[in-house]
Amino acid sequence: MMHIPEYFSKLDVRKPPAKVVDDKLSEILTEVFEIRKKLEKTFSRNELLAYDRILAKHLTTETLLPKLELEIKKDFNLMTQV
């Protein structure tokens, strides 16, 4: 019986590179906003406003690109494991 790797459904090598990058960026942003949603339960309105200002400063190409590269490298390393 042939063993299907665990990454197969997540990492389709037939997917165009632009789609891989878009999907990975969406995952990163989803994670960021899930964290913010959790903070909404405990932060005051002013604390959330301050958090949003800081978040807006950090959600730039310069800060997201290294994280995006790291996540894509992790996926690539997962695929190349023997």
Give 12-60 pLDDT, tens digit per residue.
777 888 888 999 999 999 999 999 999 999 999 999 999 999 999 999 9
How do the domains of the chain map onto residue ranges? 17-80
Residue 7 predicted with pLDDT over 80? no
Tokens 């459904």 found at: 9
CA geometry: angle 21, 25, 50, nearest 5 deg:
160
Q: For residue 51, give the nearest of 65, 64, 63, 37 by alpha carbon.
A: 37
